[in-house]
Amino acid sequence: MMNIRKLSTKDAGFDADLKALLAFETAQDDSIDVVVANILKDVKARGDEAVLEYTNRFDKTSAKTLSELEISQAELTAALNGLPAAQREALQSAAARVRSYHEKQLMQSWSYTEADGTLLGQQVTSLDRVGLYVPGGKAAYPSSVLMNAIPAKVAGVGELIMVVPTPNGEKNALVLAAAAVCGVDRVFCIGGAQAVGALAYGTQTVPQVDKIVGPGNAYVAAAKRRVFGVVGIDMVAGPSEILVICDGKTNPDWIAMDLFSQAEHDELAQSILLSPDATFLAEVAASMQRLVEEMPRKDIINTSITDRGALILTKDLDEAVAICNYIAPEHLELSVEDPLALSKKIKHAGAIFMGRDTCEALGDYCAGPNHVLPTSRTARFSSPLGVYDFQKRSSLIMVSSAGAQVLGKVAATLAYGEGLQAHARSAEYRLKNE
């Protein structure tokens, strides 16, 4: 029997129980950090040679040079053409939808001119080169290629470098096909901390990038933390999360499977259901007990639900919304009669799935919005990955002679107040003798 935690907001210790449920230790494993620090130091010092050694050791490959581990554009195209028609069409359809959505996010430069002729504005430019980390081996996610590569390309990134480990030399055709669909410029069969180091510092073969995006294991996460500042990173994501708010009128089997869709990711994933209908919560619990037996990943689901899942009885939907805003979930499903109205009350969530037919899984693959989302309550201050992560802004300031007469006095007064005389005199030099 699956052990499903049941809570009620009427319980005396509910607030403490909720905090305990959400608690997740994000501290870096010291032993992992030491290993990663040494790998990065070695890659920075020895470049190709170090990356090659670690790749051959960890992925059990036998390459003589790093160049051997680069995949040609012809091979990427062949992977796409070699897919079964249904897979190829699904991949291309998903890519088109993701591209169409992200094209709406493009930021544009702007400026305005004041009455005295002073021009102020903002210039938007794209990053020159971006590195995309894609998990390989058993964890092969072509959807991650789409979600990371397409917004970069839409933003106008000049060159996109993808790294993907190939344990025992095994390449995933769907991942390579996704790279072809997205127009990835170069692909290297390397992974782990050494791949992050190669992208961050550059080697004789792998060019240095300006930002690294994409998910990975604990070693990849630790490496991304360490190179931040040398390069930009997207985020260091925690375990997957789903929160469902339901009015009790959706098929309980649907909701049970929606909760499983995140629980099956790994044992640390979190699935929570909020509802004011106690009978419905019991029905969902019964569905979960029955349906889990059909799931190939039932052991992972059982552990995830037992350790970090919950069914929570609320006073009403408004109370459910308040709890949701506190949790700030990665994925939020509003399985209610009027989801659009309820969504207006949501302040903190990575992605909001509205309506009974909108399951989270559609967002993972093909709805259009990005599936790279803030986790571990970071949706309180963070947003989904998007085109804006691959663009940057420069301020534009062109002060007219007339404008300098006004701004110069203001700046000089404030600069003297801060004890910065050179600042003040620099501004005063532009003042005309009165």
Among all residues, which ones are annotated catalytic? 330-331
Identify the H or E element spanning 161.
strand 159-163
Pairwise CA distance, residues 430 & 408, whole Å: 7
Pairwise CA distance, residues 1 & 246, whole Å: 24
Neighbours of 294 (CB within 10 A): 9
CA angle 221, 224, 226 (to 5 degrees): 110
CA nearest neighbour of 102 among 296, 391, 399: 391
Q: What is the DSSP letter of 61?
A: -
CA nearest neighbour of 53 among 228, 173, 197, 216: 197
For the purposes of burial, counting CB atoms within 10 Å of the CB of 340, is it exposed (0-12), middle (13-18) or buried (19 or more)? exposed
CA nearest neighbour of 333 among 341, 343, 323, 325: 343
Single-letter amino acid code for the residue at 195: A
Pairwise CA distance, residues 38 & 31, whole Å: 11
Beta strand 119-126 pairing with 110-113? antiparallel
CA nearest neighbour of 180 among 71, 72, 80: 80
Which residues have a Cβ under 8 Å from the Cβ of 366 and sit 6 or more positions away?
90, 93, 94, 97, 98
Pairwise CA distance, residues 44 & 223, whole Å: 13
Q: How far is CA 119 from the centre of its chain?
A: 36
